Amino acid sequence: MTTTVQSPPDTAKAPERGASSLVDALFRAREISIAGALVLLILGTYLANPLFLSDQGIKDLLLNASILVLLAVGQSAVVITRNIDLSVGSVVGLSAFACGTFVAGTDHGVLTVMLLGIAIGVVCGLVSGALVSFGGVPALVVTLGMLYIIQGVDYWWAQGEQISASEVPEAVLGLGSGSVLGVPYLPLIALVLLAATAYFLRSYRSGRELYAIGSSPEAARLAGIPIRRRVLAAYAFSGAVAGFAGALWLARFGTVVADNAHGWELTVVSAVVVGGVAITGGTGTVWGAALGALLLTTIGSVLVVLKVDSFWQGAITGALLLLAISVDRIVNLRMTAALRKRNARHDHGA
């Protein structure tokens, strides 16, 4: 007779899995609550002004949210690793002006413009990522410095001039104003990138390793994860998305100046954090970040429709950011308490 000896369950990992499930449930609940708040906000505004949900009103809302959603997706990859990128707004401005200058008075196609924007963003992202990952410089310092450097280069280059829509090829402008089956191109582009990024982070090992780095850099290092390369890749991705968004900014508005997207970096971070991506890293999804971006954009549109002073948009965004950070802190405390309780129960049982 052959006796099969079953190995005991790995109870050491049970507390961690239980706490992780608790955290995931709490952040999923936040995403659901954001979606619910968004629906209530839209319905309430529609009751006050039915034109808000007219065909044109819906298109404007989707177009206004598209670029912010893209930037939130790129920023999420960085924040998940327990870092931050404050240079995305300036990268958008530089990319938009560079692409506008490149195509002004020419017949360059859309693909050329997109590739140029992405290349500019990748270079900016690699510089920031190298300083953070290999240089060991705090991300806040590096990206804030990059913000001012890029802005300075942009202002020096522009010399107060602007690129007008009349100089931009029709093919490029068509990307920003065209649609398929009544749906504008830009929201579709944002949705495709959003879905692709979400799939990568969920299904690929290198994507899951970003979460491991954000959860515990020391544990990730002991597990053999190439932290420096992963962080560098996250910054390169964020930069590429910002550069791409700059090219789309040109297609959307046609007229670009040196300070396009000025101040957007904080709006992007707010969208990401409000959407459930923990500022301390390791938790959250790009879907939640996209919901956060859509919520902030909708709030801005609602204030315009209701003829409320635009000052309140910044105040509301700041309040939502503080609330989200507070929720993150509460979640972390609950996770720590759950881990301690489960560890104590495990030790007592042993």
Token pair recorded at residue 41: 């906000």
Q: Where does the pLDDT of residue 314 fall: very low under 50, low under 70, confident under 90, or very high at 90 and above?
A: confident
Q: Is residue 50 one of the residues assigned to a domain?
A: no
Its pTM stands at 0.84
Q: Is residue 20 one of the residues assigned to a domain?
A: no
- Put residue 71 in one of left, alpha, beta given phi > 0 → left and psi -120 to 50 → alpha: alpha
Number of compact structural domains in the chain: 1
Q: Is residue 218 one of the residues assigned to a domain?
A: yes
The residue behind tokens 């953070």 is: 132
Q: Given this model, what pLDDT does residue 45 score?
A: 85
CATH number at residue 205: 1.10.3470
Q: Given this model, what pLDDT does residue 303 score?
A: 82
Q: Is residue 347 one of the residues assigned to a domain?
A: no
Q: Is residue 304 one of the residues assigned to a domain?
A: yes
Q: Indicate the average pLDDT of the chain.
A: 85
- Residue 115: name the closest of 127, 99, 126 by CA: 99
In terms of Cβ atoms closer than 10 Å to its own Cβ (0-12, 13-18, 19+), residue 126 is: middle
Q: Which of 74-88, 228-242, 295-309, 331-345 has the lowest mean pLDDT?
A: 331-345
Q: Given this model, what pLDDT does residue 10 score?
A: 43
Beta strands in 108-216 (DSSP E): 179-180, 183-184
Q: Given this model, what pLDDT does residue 81 score?
A: 95
Q: Given this model, what pLDDT does residue 2 score?
A: 44
Q: Is the dihedral of CA 172, 177, 179, 183 positive or negative?
A: positive
Q: Which of 106-115, 179-188, 298-307 has the lowest mean pLDDT?
A: 298-307
Token pair recorded at residue 72: 């939130």
Q: Is residue 223 one of the residues assigned to a domain?
A: yes
Domain that holds residue 268: 28-40+55-329
Between 327 and 284, the higher pLDDT residue: 284
